[in-house]
A and B are shown apart, each in its own frame.
Chain A
């Protein structure tokens, strides 16, 4: 048998070199400076390019320095750590940029008038006008969508958790997941072909609401399902032991217990569809005036408003588009953040 020195047995030194604490900030500063210098000398421009150059400089110097002081393994580890940390930036920068841009450009056109007037009699080139009609449309369309999606979604979730078993349950569950991946435009196409072409429904806010409902449904089913699963079985059994039938138990005991979570899920679904444009393009016509009737005639909505204004292209329209974007993102974020806060607050110990 070979000797026991097949593996290196030089006694492992406990001590290892390591980069000083001030290494990282100094490296950062040097890299940024270096990138700026290169900017000037080679004409590589743009904040995007400069950042990348700075990053490359940082990684190179750090890796070489670490390799010499700390050894190969730690140099690789540091490289990985730096790269992982930098992805943090990749997530923050776009979000911050989007928010700042929308705020800056949207606030410029924001006013009470903007929020309450419609675009009636306002030509694309003209200033003024507002998106009041679009807000009404969005609220109605999303409201109707929720009226369909929430009950059906909750019932389907109840089936999956309380009654479902076997192949049917597995297939339904599988397709709920698949359904979350349906492109929103396909939902619009479906409603158009089935209801508008098929059943003669006219293109209206209602048709749009149906398309949105399809997009909301899987979200509601999934979140409700999770909430129902968290309800402890002891609760159900206590109810059965008192002679309460299963259906009453679900309605009177299980659902109320999961209520906060269900509401959260519904709000997340609302946040998701309130900003959808594609299905609206296919199922409604945009109007520039107020239309409070979602069942008849063209109806505006926030996403369509923004789309219409931005594609008009005139400076006044583009400005209005940003105003619409601000209102839209405010509504979406309101629902989204409230839902998340609610979820955190009422989080079950699970």
Chain B
């Protein structure tokens, strides 16, 4: 028991033992590594974007065309931003109601075994690599969704976005959005499920005891409580959709124009563009792609930080209760 000399409370961590100091330092170093990596990503991306940005003769934010290796170099992210934001947004709009529905189904509607099976299936969907979704989207969804794109053009062309002036349906931003929606569905469902499960039993019972139907109970006791969490789920899904590369790259043929007719072929996103243009880019071209990657990084970072912050705030709030 000679080892007890020099020990203060090991539990409170105020140890003077050498082994502890070393171990604590090493583990803290590993933790700090996380921060270092995040900072390094930002730093290196900025560093390597500068060459193309300084030599850019066009407005980075408003130009649609992409010609960083040209003379003179002129490129902008307008078309990329449009494609990224629109496809991710539509994906979110499609995935959130379905994802919340799945979460409700698993937590409140389905009987036990069916619920665990469905939870498992939804999680499996999350494990499918994105390149396989790309392949599947091309093979199955392309023909399968043609009907609906035609229908949208026939009946909803007054909405402009569904108007198809080329009468060519297929590898469009709309199709990409549908594939994205399927890909982010598990994320939205899983996070929503978590918050729905946290609704205290007492609230649900109180609603039922007042003579509420199940749906009324959900509206009265579940949604108000789970709302921040579900918003967070939507944002996490959005974040994922913004950064998705390969499935989109396979589906869209890269076009550098902003086209509001979403069912017409072509379109581009930050991530897909980087993937597609990478190997043929010159030095300036690479730098320009890195610059667009920086924008993507900032975008997804912001969305994710807001989403996490919402959850964190909620956790404090219900902890206090």
Residues on A close to B: CB < 8 A?
44-49, 52, 73-74, 76-77, 80-81, 83-88, 90-92, 94-95, 97-98, 101-102, 105, 152-153, 155-156, 158-160, 162-165, 168-169, 171-172, 174-179, 181-186, 189-190, 192-194, 197-198, 214, 217-218, 221, 236-237, 240, 243-251, 271-272, 274-278, 281-282, 303, 306-307, 310, 321-322, 325, 328-329, 332-333, 336-337, 340
Contacts and interface: CB of A to CB of B under 8 A. Distances in A.
B221 to A, nearest CB: 14
A239 to B, nearest CB: 9
Interface string B9-52: 01101010101101110111111111101101100110110000
Nearest to B289: A189
Nearest to A337: B124
B130 A87 contact: no
A134 to B, nearest CB: 12
A303 B131 contact: yes
B308 interface: yes
A275 B304 contact: no
A115 B99 CA distance: 38
B158 interface: no
- 3 smallest beta-carbon distances between A and B, as pairs: A275-B129, A183-B243, A46-B147
20 contacts: A46-B144, A46-B147, A88-B118, A98-B128, A101-B140, A155-B30, A177-B308, A185-B271, A189-B290, A193-B48, A221-B34, A245-B7, A246-B20, A251-B23, A271-B127, A275-B131, A277-B275, A307-B131, A310-B135, A340-B120
A194 B44 contact: yes
Given A92-B121, A183-B300, A197 B48 contact: yes
Contacts of B147: 44-46, 48-49
A63 to B, nearest CB: 13
Contacts of A248: 19
B27 A162 contact: yes
B11 A240 contact: yes
Q: DSSP class of B's interface residues: helix, strand, loop or mixed?
A: helix
B128 A186 contact: no
A322 B135 contact: yes
Given A98-B128, A183-B300, A193-B45, A176 B105 contact: no
B121 A160 contact: no
A179 B121 CA distance: 25
A90 B185 contact: yes
B61 interface: no
B28 A159 contact: yes
A250 B308 contact: no
Residue from A48, A246, A333 whose CB has the most chain B CB atoms within 10 Å:
A246
Contacts, number: 296
Contact of B30 (A159, A183, A340): A159
A189 B131 contact: no
A91 B121 contact: yes
A158 B105 CA distance: 36
Contacts of B297: 182-183, 186, 189
Given A98-B136, A332-B129, A340-B123, A183 B271 contact: yes
Contacts of B10: 240, 245-246, 249
Given A181-B239, A194-B44, A340-B120, A245 B304 contact: no
A84 B240 CA distance: 24
Interface string B153-183: 0000000000000000000000000000010
B24 A282 contact: no
A3 to B, nearest CB: 23
Contact of B300 (A47, A90, A182): A182
Contact of A160 (B31, B186, B216): B31
B278 A282 contact: yes
A95 B128 contact: yes
B246 A277 contact: yes
Contact of A277 (B125, B128, B130, B215): B130
A88 B244 contact: no
A48 B142 CA distance: 11
A175 B34 contact: yes
Nearest to A155: B30
Given A155-B30, A237-B11, A276 B129 contact: yes
